[in-house]
Amino acid sequence: MRRLLRRARRRRLALRAVLVLAVAAAAGCGLPTDEHAQAIDPEELPESLRPGFTASTTTTVPAPLLTEPRTVFLLTNPQDIERTIVVEVERQVNRSAPLEDLLATLFGEAASPEESDAGYFNTLELFEILSATVVDGVATVDIVHLSPEGEDQPPSADELEFAAAQLVFTASATEGVDGVRILLDGQEVSVPTSDADAEPGSVLRTSAYEQFQPDFAPATTTTTSPEDGESGES
């Protein structure tokens, strides 16, 4: 009989402990502990559960573009002109890019497929740029000619003239540059121009490559025959 009473007492104690834990848990959750449901003041609710709550969203503003198109010059041989001329194209470079970075877009790269389809070509892909600095409006550009195997070798006269034309027109289109001095592997060399070879270390301007201008028109000369006094053009 005593054994049965002890078992019943233990059950009551265990049930009481469970009820105490349940009440504590309900109180910890902020829920009413009585048997009947009660309305909760909206002011006591978390903000996300209050009527009319709208979740805020963040808008990501795209970063401003850090590059811009800059003018460089390629070459072409149009069918209606029996000579090689320069042609303007664009390259994307950093807004604060120095002249060396702009010129570097022409070295080691052929014309793009679209440019090639238009008949453009890039002689500077046969060269490598070593440096480019600007002092008092004169850009000094140091380049080196590469063989198909990637070794240094002297360029032909045509290769150097075409490369010089591209460099002079491209650099001169850059603000603050009005002339270009070309070095070949650090050495001053005689650079071909439209008329003759310039002296080593000469400052070259676009006028030295006027025959590369698309609208260039050769000058005509008028001669007078001493016999009949008639004049003619040549």
* Straight-line distance from the first to the last Cα atom of the chain, in angstroms, rounded to the nearest whole number: 144
Taking the CA atoms of 8, 10, 12 and 15 in sequence, report the sign of the dihedral they define. negative
> What does the pLDDT look like over 176-185, one tens digit per residue?
999 999 999 9
Taking the CA atoms of 221, 222, 226 and 230 in sequence, report the sign of the dihedral they define. positive
Pick the residue with more confidence: 21 or 116?
Answer: 116
- In DSSP notation, 23-55 reads HHHHHHTT---SSS--PPPGGGS-GGGSTT---
152 by DSSP, 3-state: which?
A: strand
> What does the pLDDT look like over 63-108, one tens digit per residue?
566 899 999 999 999 988 889 999 999 999 999 999 999 999 999 8
E runs forming strands in 47-159: 67-76, 85-94, 120-121, 127-135, 138-145
Listed by start position, the domains of the chain span 9-49, 67-212
The pLDDT value given to residue 149: 83
Task: Tell me the pLDDT band of 59, cut-offs 50, 70 and 90.
Answer: low
Task: Judge contact between 132 and 100, C-beta under 8 A.
Answer: yes
**Residue 210 phi, psi (nearest 5):** -65, -30
Average confidence (pLDDT) over 116-130: 96
DSSP classification of residue 118: T
Vertex 190 angle, CA 221 and 147, to 5°: 120
Instruction: State yes or no: pLDDT of 194 exceeds 50.
Output: yes
Q: Which helix (H) or strand (E) holds 160?
A: helix 157-172
- Distance between CA 230 and CA 116 in Å, rounded? 49
- Distance between CA 101 and CA 18 in Å, rounded? 78
Q: Could you tell me which of 97, 155, 99 has the C-alpha nearest to residue 128? A: 155
Q: Could you tell me which of 87, 120, 125, 121 has the C-alpha nearest to residue 109? A: 125
The pLDDT value given to residue 26: 43
Length reported for the chain:
234
Q: Could you identify the residue written with the tokens 């002079």?
A: 168
Task: Tell me the pLDDT band of 46, cut-offs 50, 70 and 90.
Answer: confident
> What does the pLDDT look like over 152-164, one tens digit per residue?
899 999 999 999 9
Task: Tell me the pLDDT band of 168, cut-offs 50, 70 and 90.
Answer: very high
Task: Tell me the pLDDT band of 14, cut-offs 50, 70 and 90.
Answer: very low
**Residue 75 phi, psi (nearest 5):** -125, 155
- Distance between CA 184 and CA 136 in Å, rounded? 21
The pLDDT value given to residue 222: 58
Residues of the chain above pLDDT 90, percent: 57
